[in-house]
């Protein structure tokens, strides 16, 4: 099982897409194990986007991410990181395929609705930035055996 950080960005929140986007992850069979609505501080944005400091888009990105509330999610499942990234679609809405979150809800090359961890190491780092101890919860879903084939003793 993997856990990915997902951020529904200010444009998704302002456009009232929270429920529709979360449904995409749940419909796929992924489990929401952490969720909160928050405002990202400039300090937290600087930590989260530290790899982009000094790039031409950095200041605008921080302004955008701190301009309005966001929803942060911890999403878990077998291969969750790759699955989440496929569900999100290409970075720019104008290039994202129909059927993806960005392809169905976005046209902008600046506002792209959603962030998802790009690998296990970044997921671990990002989850620690946005969730404190005890805020990502382990829980058993009653439907787990209908999401994954558990006949071999592990989720497939």
Choosing from 25, 115, 127, 131, the catalytic residue is: 115
pTM summary value: 0.94
Tens of pLDDT along 38-97?
A: 999 999 999 999 999 999 999 999 999 999 999 999 999 999 999 999 999 999 999 999
Mean pLDDT computed over every residue of the chain: 95
Tell me, yes or no, whether 56 lies in a domain.
Answer: yes
For residue 48, indicate whether it is catalytic.
no
Say yes or no to pLDDT of 151 above 90.
no
Q: Which domain holds residue 107?
A: 2-147
Tell me, yes or no, whether 155 lies in a domain.
Answer: no
Say yes or no to pLDDT of 115 above 90.
yes
- Sequence-distant (6+) residues with CB within 8 A of 64 are 9, 10, 110, 111
Per-residue three-class SS string for 62-111? HHHHCCCCEEEEEEEECCHHHHHHHHHCCCCCCCCCCCCHHHHHCCCCCC
Q: Per-residue confidence at 153, pLDDT binned at 50, 70, 90?
A: confident
CATH number at residue 115: 3.30.70.141
Number of compact structural domains in the chain: 1
């Amino acid at each position: 099982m993997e856990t990915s950080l997902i951020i529904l960005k200010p444009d998704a929140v302002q456009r009232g897409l929270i429920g529709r986007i979360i449904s995409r992850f749940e419909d796929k069979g992924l489990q929401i194990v952490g969720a909160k609505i928050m405002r990202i501080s400039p300090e937290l944005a600087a930590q989260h986007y530290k790899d982009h400091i000094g790039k031409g888009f950095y200041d605008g990105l921080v302004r955008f991410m701190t301009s309005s509330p966001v929803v942060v999610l911890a999403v878990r499942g077998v291969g969750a990181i790759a699955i989440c990234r496929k569900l999100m679609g290409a970075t720019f809405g104008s290039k994202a395929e129909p059927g993806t979150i960005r392809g169905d809800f976005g046209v902008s090359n600046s506002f792209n609705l959603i962030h998802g961890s790009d690998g296990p190491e970044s997921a671990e780092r990002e989850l620690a930035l946005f969730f404190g101890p005890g805020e990502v919860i382990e829980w058993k879903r009653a439907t787990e055996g209908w999401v994954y084939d558990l006949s071999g003793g592990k989720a497939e």
